[in-house]
Amino acid sequence: MTALAVGAVDAAAVVAPSPETRRDAASPVTSGSALDRCAWLARYPVRRSVGRAYPVAKRLFDIAVALVAIAVVAPLILVVGIAIKITSRGPMLYRQRRAGRSGRPLTIVKLRTMVRDADARKSELAGLNMRQPPDFKIVRDPRVTVVGRVIRVLSLDELPQFFNVLKGDLSLVGPRPTSLMRDQYARWQTERFEVMPGLTGLWQVAGRDDPSFDTRGRLDIAYATRRCLRLDIEILLRTIPSVIFARGAW
C-alpha cells in the first residue's frame, strides 16, 4: 500500500481505484516518489463532508491573502511585464481557458513566457513531450523566450493569478485547473471537479517532477477527500520552498 493510504481505509480507493470504476482501464497505476513524498497526508483523515464553516473560512482566507499578495507583487508583475514586452513580440499577459469547479470553464491569466504562436507550434513538437499525455512539457522548449525561462524557473508567470483568486475563479489551494474538460477525464479522476481549483496544490509541492498524469490525478483526489483549512495552510507553507528551490520547474 502506498504512503497516501496510511492511516485511512478509504484512501485505498484514492491511491488505487479499481478498474471497474475507471473509464480508462489502460491508465497505469503508479506509486512513485511523488506519492511517497506525501506520507505526511496520513495526519489528515478522509472526510465525507467538510461542513458549512470550511468553505466560508477558506474564501475569507483566500481574499485576505490575495489582497496582501497583490499589494506586494504588483510592482514585480509590472517590471517583469516590461521585460517581456521589450524582449519579445506579443502581449504581456497570456490568457487560457481551463476547466474549473464542476467542469465550468474559467480564464486564467499568466505572464507570457512563450512566443506568440506557441499554441500553433505545439503539434510539431509533440514527439518531444516528456510528460504523460494529455500533459505537455519538453526540455528546452524552443517556444519559450529568454525572459520566459527565468520567469518559469522562479514561477513568476503565476503571479497574476492572485487576481483570479480575488475574483473567486481560483482558490489559493486546490487541484490546478487544466485545459481538459470534464468529459476528457477518466471517471475516477472527475472527483477533482468537486472542489475549487487552486493556485497551488499537492502536485506543486510533491509531484512537479513526476511525468505521470495518473499520479497527478491521485494527488488531486487525495486533497479533495481530505481538504480542511489546516491542510490548505500546510500546502501553502510547503509551496514556498518548492518555489524557492525551483523543484520540478523547467
Cβ(14)–Cβ(189) below 8 Å:
no
- Per residue of the chain (250 residues), give pLDDT as tens: 344 433 333 333 344 443 333 333 333 333 456 677 788 999 999 987 788 899 999 999 999 999 999 999 999 999 999 999 999 988 999 998 998 888 888 999 999 999 988 877 777 777 676 665 666 677 788 899 999 999 988 889 999 999 999 999 999 999 998 887 888 888 888 888 889 999 999 988 886 666 577 888 889 999 999 999 999 999 999 998 888 876 655 5
- Cα–Cα dist 93/154, whole Å: 17
The set of cell numbers assigned to 127 is 514527439
What ranges do the domains of the chain cover? 3-244
Residue 228 burial by CB count (10 A; 0-12/13-18/19+): exposed, middle or buried?
A: middle
The residue among 247, 228, 236, 216 whose CA lies nearest residue 14 is 216
The set of cell numbers assigned to 21 is 470504476
